[in-house]
Amino acid sequence: MAELDVLWDVDPVEAERILQEFIALGGNHIMTGPVRADGYKHHYPDTNWFGRAPKYSAFLRWVWAHGVATSIVVMTDIGPWYDSGRKAFDWGAIARDFDRFYDELDALGIVLDRVVSQWEQWQPRAVCRPLFAWMAKRFPHAKRYWHNSCQPPHLSPGSGAEEERGTWESALEFIHGLYHEADTVNEYVVNADGRTPIDQMAYDEWDMVRRMRGTEGSPWGAPLLNVDGVPAEVFYAEAVAHFMYHDGGGQDVAAAWARKALSVDGVLGSLDGIP
């Protein structure tokens, strides 16, 4: 579903069939973007909407007309805009290409209501923070989120060497919360803490909610308030997609994980699995 825009661009009939099947399963939200990417590590055709804002706006309006919400991943992880080896953004290239494209979307009346900084973003705090600040300035009316990387499984938007609460405080000046990616279904059988992957996912959801709320013995103490001045939001965003795509996992597994995530008090929604 994350590559639905690429399919719609070349075969709108097939895209319509897939979207209808998704809706029939209970789906009402997709993550999509960025508008310039390498096709998920070349599993899909190259993604390039630059210079084609009117058609991309038509894609978004088509999805929304079906009652399906979108979370748009607004920044790429490829060059020249981002150097993954150096973990550095080229802000001149971003202004030239991404800002121009989003200006064109604005002119077409497109208002994005949920945006995500990057897929599986993991950088030091000093690199993350300018992206969050840019996102807040670029999309001031949208809910804004960080999507963690599960490699390593680090749940604060900074490097593993940085104090975790501080990295969240830095990010939450500009964003609203976490789209949580968990270890995938077959990452292990039982981990060092005696938890299966699905149980570890639920534990991490509970742990992040208590840290954001400052409750139940949170090791971070007081609540972590987001840009709106309320405890940061936690969504279950991803765990089963890799298993389904690469290993043939079925919808029953996805639904079980989504239900488990939503059984945790304080988790605001499931974006992966269709509960």
Return d(Cα 101, Cα 26) in angstroms, integer: 32
Q: Is residue 41 situated within a structural domain?
A: no
Higher pLDDT: 246 or 237? It is: 237
pLDDT of 232:
98
Buried b (16+ CB within 10 A) or exposed e, 164-195: bbebbebbbebbbbbbbbbbbbebeeeeeeeb
Q: Is residue 107 situated within a structural domain?
A: no
**Among all chains, which residue has been given the structure tokens 């290239």?**
93
Task: Answer for the pair 124, 159: CB distance below 8 angstroms, yes or no.
Answer: yes
Q: Is residue 92 situated within a structural domain?
A: no
pTM of this structure: 0.96
Q: Which domain holds residue 151?
A: 113-262
Provide the 3-class DSSP secondary structure of residue 228. Answer: coil
pLDDT of 32:
95
The predicted model gives 97-123 an average pLDDT of: 97
Task: Write the pLDDT tens digit of every residue in 70-107.
Answer: 999 999 999 999 999 999 999 999 999 999 999 999 99
Q: Is residue 53 situated within a structural domain?
A: no
β-bridge mates for residue 69, sequence order: 29
Residue 252 in this model has a pLDDT that exceeds 90: yes
Domains in the chain, number: 1
- Dihedral in degrees, nearest 10, Cα atoms 120, 123, 126, 128: -10
Q: Is residue 94 situated within a structural domain?
A: no
pLDDT of 152:
60
> What's phi and psi for 198, nearest 5 deg?
-70, -35
